Structures are given as C-alpha cells and as structure tokens.
Structure 1
Amino acid sequence: MELTLLYRGPLASCDYDCPYCPFAKRRDAPAQLRHDRACLERFADWAEAATGDELSLLFTPWGEGLVRSWYRTTLARLSRLPHLRRVAIQTNLSCRTDWLADADPDTLALWCTFHPGQTPYDRFLGKCRELAEAGVRFSVGVVGLPEHLAAARRLRTELPEHVYLWINAAEGHTYTDEEAARWTALDPLFPYSRHPHRSAGLPCRTGASVVSVDGEGTVRRCHFVPGTLGNLYDGSYRTALRPRPCPLAVCDCHIGYVHLESLPLYDVFAGGVLERIPAGGPLSP
C-alpha cells in the first residue's frame, strides 16, 4: 500500500515567537520533551518495520522540531530506508545543517519558512544556500503580510533560481486584488492560498491514502477533522481506510487542501507534494 502520513507529536515549543502564530510562545518542560522524544522514536520504529508499505512522511510539529536532536537523527535515519519515498518536515531552518550529511538527499526534503523579525535575513539565506550546495530538496516560503513583502521580493531575487518561493495567505487577512497581484507576482500559486476552498462533500485523499497521526498513534483522516480512524500501532486504522468526502465546509490550509481531488495540486506538485515543490522547476507568473 502507498500511504502518506502527517505526523504531529506533542512537541509545542519553538525558538521563535512570531506574533501571527498562536503556538510560538509555548515552552515544553523537560518531561514533555522526553515524552515527545519517546513518541517520535516509537513512530520511527513503526515506520522502519512497515516494510510491506511504501510510505511518505511529513512531520508538522506545532513547535520547531529540527532544533531538537531527536528530530534530526530520526529524519536522517528514516531517509535511508528503502520503503520510504519521501521524508519531509516543516521548519524555520534555525537549526544547523551538518546533520544532513547523514541523510539520503533523494528521500529527505525540507519545507522552510522565513519569519522576518525572528532571524536575520542573511542568516536564513545562508542556510538556504547551504541546503542548495548539499543537494537537499527544499522549498521556501513567507506568510503574506504587508510588512513581509520587501523581504519576500528580496528572497525571490537572491534564492537559487530552482528554489520555489511560496506565499501563505495570512490567517484572517483579506487581500484586495491589487495586494493579491503583488504576492502572485512572487508565487503564481498564491491564488490557491488566498481564499478557503469549499470542501463539503467533495472527494479528498485524506482517510484513504493520506492520514494524520499524533504522538499516541491515534489516526485521523487529517489534522482538521477530529474523528478517529483507529490506532497506528495496533493496526486498527487499516480497516477504516477508504475514499470519503470532506465533512468540513471549507479547507483553508495547504496541508489539507492539497489533497482535495477537486483541485489539480497533485499534478502541480507531482513528486513534491509533501515538501511543496512544484513539478518541472520554477514557476512563471
């Protein structure tokens, strides 16, 4: 079976405190960090043993995972497994990059977000150049707030040409057509992010070939639908896997709506759905 899993363990702490992120100011106590590590290692052990499946994994922690050694070690380890098609993580790229030498660059990928005001621009750009020199697959993005526009434009000019720069519509922000045009000039796919997508009753790959997993192994169809399908570790989820329509009125997050069958994004991102890298190289507006 080909199966994509979005893993989100209990980690909630981050080294940034972005004002537009409701989770950035959390801090995990040592006991919570130990619990997160144990959960991640259990998930990695399961993935390593699941040789009968072809797996793709995206780690979507509430906090920043790669500043924790166990995330770096786990991603490198999983990337070397022959039945893993892709291992990717969302990150602010504040971590060091030397650990990537232990990973398989054909399997590992990074979804990187630049947060102006949280890290110097030159430091972030330098990390991106390190990734490019190491042959790591990665995309780079910015939250589309007005105060981020100048930095986003500079990134598009100074990033390696082959690196896709995506723009996320800011939560709660309404864009005029003029504002949207500015962002679309940087990211031709921004119109997909600008408005929530009507999803009620529409077919979605989540719950069939894509599932969400938490630190206890509870399986849900996606991060945004609370109903459970079973547990990863006792295998009870497998009998619940089947095509089903979306029960929500709208879907407004890329990691959700990218899986809607009513949208063409599996073709747009063919081979790079999890790391948000379009097929065929850079896009033109």
Structure 2
Amino acid sequence: MYLTILYRGSLISCNYGCEYCPFAKRQQTAAELAIDKQSLEKFVNWISQHPQHQFSILFTPWGEALIHSWYQQALVKLTHLPNVNKAAIQTNLSCQLDWVEECNKDKLAIWATFHSEWVSCDRFLSKCLQLNHQNVKFSVGVVGFPKFKSEIAALRQELPNQIYLWINAVKAELPNLSPADREFFQSIDPLYELNTKHYPSFGHSCRAGKSVISVDGDGTIRRCHFIKSPIGNIYDSDWETALYEQPCTNQTCHCHIGYVHLDYLNMNQIFSSGLLERIPDDWTIHKS
C-alpha cells in the first residue's frame, strides 16, 4: 500500500504573532509539549513498524513545529526509513537548519512560509539560500494580502529562479482585491488563480480516505483535515479496513492540502512528485 499521511499532533503554539492566525504567539506548558513529543515519537515508531507499506508524510501543525527538536529528529528518522518515500513539513523557517545534514535529503521536503511582519526578508532569504545550498527540495509561500506586495516582490527578486514562490489566496479578501492586485499576485505565482476557488467537492471522488488520510496525535484517522468524522485509528489492528474509496461529503474544498486530492482536478499533472511540498512538476516551464 502507498499511503500519504497528513499528520497534525497536539502542537498549537507558535513563535510568531500573525494577526490573522488563531495560534499566534500562543504558548503551551511543558506538560502539553511533552504529550506532543510522545505522540510524535509513537507515530514515527508506528511508521517504522509497518515496512510492508510505503508512506509519504506531510506535517501540518497548528503552530511552528521545527523550533522543537522532536520534530527535527522525527524528520531525520523518517527520511532514513526504507518505507518512507518523503517526509515534508510546513514551517516559518525560523529554526536553525543544522539538523538537515542528518537527514536523507533525497526524501526531505520543506513548505516554508514568509511572514514579513515577524522576520526580515534578508533573514528569511538567508534560510532559503541555506536550504538551496543543502540541496533540499522546498517551496516558499506568502499570504496574499496586498499590504505585503513590496516584500513579496523583493523576495521573488532575490530568490533563485528555480524556487517556486506561491501566493496563498485569502478567500475572504478576494472581493476587495483590485484587478492590479490580482495581476500582481498572478505575476509572482502563475498558479495563483488555482488557489482562489472553492472547488465543488460534494459527491466527487477524492483520494482522501483511501490513499490519503489525516492522523492526529492520538492516532485518530480522518479522511482529511476538513472532514471531522473519525474513520479509525492507526493503532488499532484493523486500521487498514477504514481505508476505501468514497465520495466527498463537503460541499466545497478550497485549501491546497485538500483540493489537490480531488480526482477530477487532476492536480497530479501539475504538481506530480511535488504535491506535498507544493512544488509544480517542472517549475521552469510554469515560470517561463
């Protein structure tokens, strides 16, 4: 079995304070963080105990994970497991990057987001250039507020051309965007318009629930992050019976980590092996 897992543990704290984020500058107690650490280590061990399956894993924490050593070590361990094809993570890239050298970098991928309110372009760019020097696959993203246009333009100017810079469309703000704003975002990210839509999903075939699942710190399986009903638990002996094809029960899907798995959108043709880390299959083609 080839299975993609979106893992989200109990981490809900972040070292940044973005005004649009509910987890901004939120702190957790040492005891709460210890639970998250134990859950993550249990998950990594579970992956290693199922060598008959091939896994691709994306960590999608509610907060910043890579400032914690246990997430760094989880990526190190996972990238060296023969039954792991890829281990990727969403991050603000505020951590040190020395741990990267311990990874199998052929399997490591980074989804990095630039928050100009909390880090200078130069500092963030230096981390990107370090990853590039370390030969790590990564994409860079920003939240699509017009007030960040100058910082976005500066970042695109300085990033190597082969690094994809995506714009996360703020759906609630789309009606307020000027044509010039949308044209600017499209000039930075040729795939921007893909992220502006609420895709019809009810009754449609989706890989979520069959070959793609969401797993939380307790091991609870859900079809995806956006359908809250549990379908099983990876720590149950019969966990595999929970995985089968079934149509989506939500009316629409508008987040990249969700709609890319809808079969009718054929997003694999765009992202191929870079689906988890949000890198188009051949960025140089899209860039040109």
TM bracket, shorter-chain basis: over 0.9
CA–CA separation in structure 1 for the residues paired with 2:193 and 2:283: 19
Q: Is 1:147 matched up with 2:150?
A: no
User: Is 1:37 the counterpart of 2:40 in the alignment?
Assistant: no
Question: More helix by proportion, 1 or 2?
Answer: 2
| Corresponding letter in the other structure for 2:27 | R
State the shift of 1:157 in Å.
1.3
For the residue of structure 1 that corresponds to 2:273, the secondary structure is coil
- Name the SS of the counterpart of 1:150 in structure 2: helix
Partner of 2:229: 227
Look up the SS of the partner of 1:270 in the other structure. Answer: helix
Coordinate RMSD, CA, aligned: 1.1
Match of residue 75 from structure 2: 75
- Name whichever of 151-160 and 109-118 sits farther off: 151-160
One-letter identity of the residue aligned with 1:228: P
Deviations 1:154-174 (A, max 9, x none): 111111111111100124212
Contact 1:7 1:212 in 2 (8 A): yes
Q: 1:179 Cα shift?
A: 2.3
CA distance in 1, matches of 2:47, 2:222: 17
How far residue 48 of structure 1 moved from its aligned partner, in angstroms, is 1.1
Letter in 2 for 1:284: K
* Runs of 4+ residues deviating >4 angstroms: none
Q: Give the unaligned 5+ runs of structure 1.
A: none
- The one of 236, 240, 243 equivalent to 2:242 is 240
Tell me the residue number matched to 2:268.
266
2:134 and 2:200 map into 1 onto residues whose CA distance is: 40
Asked if the contact 1:6–1:213 (Cα under 8 Å) also holds between the matched residues in 2, the reply is: yes
Give the superposition deviation at 1:284: 2.6
Cα distance in 2 for residues equivalent to 1:263 and 1:158: 32
Whole-angstrom CA distance in 2 between matches of 1:127 and 1:193: 26
Alpha-carbon distance in structure 1 between the residues aligned to 2:178 and 2:277:
28
Q: How far did 1:178 drift? A: 3.5
1:25 maps to 2:25 = yes
State the one-letter code of the partner of 1:217.
G
Question: Percent same amino acid at aligned positions?
Answer: 47
Which residue identity does 1:268 align to in structure 2?
I
Number of residue-to-residue matches in the alignment: 285
Maintained 8 Å contact 2:15/2:26: no
Moved more, 117-126 or 176-185: 176-185
Greater CA deviation, 23-32 or 160-169?
23-32
SS of 2:78's partner is helix
**Residue 181 of structure 1: which of 157, 180, 183 is its match?**
183
Question: CA separation in 1, counterparts of 2:159 and 2:72?
Answer: 24
Match for 2:90: what amino acid?
Answer: Q
Q: Deviations over 1:86-143 (max 9, x none)?
A: 1000000000011100001100000000001111111000000000001011000000
TM-score (norm 2): 0.96
Rounded to whole Å, the distance in 2 between the matches of 1:272 and 1:56 is: 11
**TM-score, normalised via structure 1 length:** 0.97
Separation in 2, partners of 1:43, 1:133: 30
Q: For 1:183-202, what aligned pairs fall within 5 Å after superposition?
A: 183-202=185-204
